[in-house]
Chains A and B, each alone.
Chain A
Amino acid sequence: MNNSPLLQIDRISIGFRASTGQILPVLRDVSLQLSRGQSLGIVGESGSGKSTVVLAAMGFLKHGLQLISGSVSFDGNNMFELSGKELEKLRGGKIALIPQNSGQSLTPSLKIGTQLTEVLKLHTGLSNDQYMDRIIELLGLVRLPDPEAIAKRYPHELSGGQQQRAAIAMALAGDADVLLLDEPTTGLDVTTQAHILELLRDLSIERNMAMAYVSHDLGAIARVCDNVMVMYAGEAILEGSTRQVLTSPFHPYARGLLASIPKLNDPRLPVALDGRPPAPGLAGEGCAFVSRCAIASDRCHREHPEMQATPGGTLRCHHYKDSERISITGTGAQPARAQATDQMSLVLDSLSISYHIPSFFDSLFGAKQEIPNTVDDISVKVTKGETLGLVGESGSGKSTILKTVAGLLPLRSGSVKTGDGKELPPRVEHRESRQLQSIQLIFQNPDESLNPRHTVAQILGQPLGLYFGLRGKEGEARSIEILRRVRLGGHYMDRLPSQLSGGEKQRVAIARAFAANPELVLCDEITSALDVSVQAAVIDLLNELKKEHGTNFIFVSHDLAVVRALSDRVAVLYQGRLCEIGPSDQVYALPSHPYTEVLLGAVLEPDPDVAPKLLAEDVVELSPPARGCPFQRRCPRRLGSVCDNQEPPWQQSEDRHFIRCHIPIEELHGAQVEDAA
């Protein structure tokens, strides 16, 4: 292996000029080295500066940023001193980037083939008649089916996973020596993500490239990287082998981060890291992490720690020897579990929902094709005090079901009943005040769900005034009490949403739901937009609220580990149809519905020793099949035409665990145990 590093970033600092005229650093004194055949993961939460590092590696600064000090050298070139022409030659050629959001990063008006040709023309010596062959070769290399057809498509005609693959092909087109990846799988479904990571891993081994992989997801890093650099508030704070960093890191932040990740095989709650990183320029003299560190001393406040070599990698900490006092697992509380009871809280009775409304022209031209329901035949009973998790990939209809229960979407057939057996009017306008108050909905993105023009006091005042007639002083006192319960103080009352952090906003949204004193809270991906450490705090909060109030939750998420941490029972959805439902421990164990098996197999654990199992193709299906099993087209255990034509029966595995599959349950179990061994 060639030992001289291909890419060397040397003590680089990057900042922006604030309105006060000061230059505030977003990146402070970051160094890294990358040689051929190496892959380095760069981990951090939002605002840690991790993306800025990889862009700087290409000599690129986002608008408004400037280089304060340091240098970047790639293959002997000082990237910040090259001319535009020289940079153009290197970028996309010897050093290439795979962006986070390929849907946005591919030029919408140019076909995939045209964009690939552009790169080939710029960075290879191929002749005109060789382009097409090379394009097809590249698209095949990233495992896109039917490369000829894909080359002729526009970016928007591809699915998210296909767009990402096309972007990878584009990065490979210039025969890169260094591949930079900026959150390349964020926003993709779990199965797609696992497939793309496998592809990247194989490519890096095959082509002996150097890779720098930026991600907030330690699970993804664990899959593809030999070494990891952890970033915090614009600084590198820990660098070491992936195994070391993920299993026994010496830095308190890295330990806290690990502890805050919910794990699939550990039903205990993750531990939140309270507080938030300092804003650019506000880090002060001492350690940037000091305010959130459990083992900080006076010295940490005064003296900024330098990077130092330790047995556990290079790191920035005065007290790394004591860091083992911070547990990376184990201190997580036991999740509150509901008592078994026959009392019902909510009953969904063969609920069907359709998005398709025949348009005026359709009825005019008599287009009469039978379009399958978006969500079909959902029957679920939620007992008192229970939390039901709904999992599935995008398009599984999980959010649609929540909105229908909340009365925001019309149902096509079936009914929603409350615990007393009374049917809930499908439309929110027809519901009684008591019914409204007892069901509250929390949305995914608090930026959207909180009115930007209302203060926290107004936001909380709305349910209080509406349901309890609490206004003025009374309402205010009650609001403050609720704020305390979500661990925000009364001083938040006058703030606008724009003055809160992401985690604080979501807490206000939770507080608003709880101000109604509800019996059932519907949570729609409420932790997806949050950083892991903040997510842990929200999970913890929900768990507390459940314990205190015995509130029912229906918790929707694509993240199986998060769902496991909170749910008593879990229902798995595919294409708007239920596949499996049962107590969470049983759903997460064998036997599983083949789709659950695929989902669980694709989950990435922050553990270098656990590889995902890729059981099915990551094809995106736009609509459910008209007949038979919804999973027929992707199922790895498909029996044959029976799956295409007949609706699978519900089979009981254990007491309350049901699987909807044609394969007899013992057979399914046997095969799965065999495969696992």
Chain B
Amino acid sequence: MADQAVNPARTASSMRWLIVLKDIWARPSGAIGLSIVTFHILLAVLSPLITPYDYREIDAFNILSGPSAAHWFGTDDLGRDIFSRMMLGGREALIVTGIATPIAVLWGGFVGILFGLIGGRIDEFLMRIVDAFLSLPWILKMLVLIVTFGSGNAVLIPTLAFFYGIPVIRIARAATHDVVARDFVSAAKARGHPRFSIISRELLPNVMDTLMVEGAMRWSWMLLAFSSLSFLGFGVSPPTPDWGLMIKETRAYLTFAPWGALGPVILLSSLIIGINLTADGLAKALGIDRAQKAPV
């Protein structure tokens, strides 16, 4: 539609996101969250340029050394600079989850809206399948696939995107049910708009808010899963630096060299907390009560 360029709705909707962003920023927790997330994204982009050492560089004379002027966070069991590895340790996680999250929300959202629109007994039955998938712990589903197909990003991204899209189906379906029951949808139906136009104009804009919040939450849980997998030894393979993997590696000598765990712990936690604070702020700005929902 050519007239969309001058359509006030377009400006209205981009304005709206600006307002929402401002609203998140206006709350202290939201501002902290946004700052943390921005910091991490910048760090991931810039870290290859600014790390003091190469992450593979081995300093054989300084194995498991404590913090010093040369190595701010000390060195690991191979004598590699922990500070450099810390700075790089979120890249893999951010790349994988950054690609998998939108895919998960898109496919889960699409299927969920579809189920919500189908309704009736078919929808009931399909939701039982979703329930069945959800009743298996994520770690089991992920591990089986990783052990079979290997743990490269080519496996991790689709696997994460697939399994984390399933709970989105539930959320999108419930949101669809809520919107479909409202009078403005009935009004559009009564006017005789084609199904597609009702979905895209009446339904989607109103379900989108829920999906945005959902996306932010999925992102944080995906990061959690990704780092847990690395920690268990099924995720990123050495020598690639990754926080989860670094924490696992440090555990063996935690008793006499605990400083190695500190950096990755702080960075990983701060990123996930930052995303959560942002998601909370987003939910509040959009008027969605996040706390009343189960994490599934």
Contact = CB atoms under 8 A, between A and B. Distances in A.
B183 interface: yes
B253 to A, nearest CB: 54
Contacts of A451: 184, 201-202, 205-206
B3 interface: yes
A433 interface: yes
B190 A441 contact: yes
A5 B184 CA distance: 51
Main secondary structure on B side of the interface with A: helix
Interface residues of B, number: 25
B121 A408 contact: no
B213 to A, nearest CB: 16
A463 interface: yes
B190 A407 contact: yes
Interface in A446-463: 448-455, 457-458, 462-463
Given A408-B186, A449-B184, A496-B12, A436 B192 contact: yes
A311 interface: no
Contacts of B8: 455, 457-458, 493-494
B22 to A, nearest CB: 13
Contact of A472 (B2, B13, B187): B2
B27 interface: no
B192 A448 contact: no
Contacts of A462: 188, 191, 193, 201
Interface in A420-443: 428, 431, 433, 436-437, 439-441, 443
B190 A408 contact: yes
A406 interface: yes
A652 B8 CA distance: 57
B145 interface: no
B9 to A, nearest CB: 5
B147 interface: no
B192 A360 contact: no
Residue from A441, A451, A475 having most chain B Cβ neighbours under 10 A = A451
B3 A472 contact: yes
Interface residues on A, range: 35 or more
Contacts of B182: 448
B136 interface: no
B9 A454 contact: yes
A68 to B, nearest CB: 27
Nearest to B202: A451
B1 A471 contact: yes
Interface in B1-41: 1-3, 6-9, 12-13
B9 A455 contact: yes
B128 interface: no
Contacts of B187: 441, 443, 449, 512
A642 interface: no
A494 B7 CA distance: 10
Given A360-B121, A450-B184, A494-B12, A428 B202 contact: no
Contacts of A408: 186, 189-190
B191 A455 contact: no
Residue from B2, B186, B193, B202 having most chain A Cβ neighbours under 10 A = B186
Contact of A433 (B7, B192, B205): B192
A445 interface: yes
B124 to A, nearest CB: 10
Residue from B1, B12, B183, B206 having most chain A Cβ neighbours under 10 A = B183
B184 to A, nearest CB: 4
A530 B12 CA distance: 28
A237 B113 CA distance: 53
A443 B189 CA distance: 13
A65 to B, nearest CB: 22
A428 B184 contact: no
A18 interface: no
A483 interface: no
Interface of A: 360, 403, 406-408, 428, 431, 433, 436-437, 439-441, 443, 445, 448-455, 457-458, 462-463, 466, 471-472, 475, 493-494, 496, 512, 516
12 contacts: A436-B191, A441-B186, A445-B183, A448-B182, A449-B183, A451-B205, A453-B13, A454-B201, A462-B191, A471-B3, A475-B3, A494-B8
Interface of B: 1-3, 6-9, 12-13, 121, 182-184, 186-193, 201-202, 205-206
Given A428-B190, A451-B202, 14 more contacts: A407-B190, A408-B186, A428-B192, A433-B192, A436-B190, A440-B190, A441-B186, A448-B184, A455-B9, A455-B12, A458-B8, A462-B193, A463-B191, A472-B3
- The 3 A-B pairs with the shortest beta carbon distances in the complex, nearest first, are A436-B192, A472-B3, A448-B183
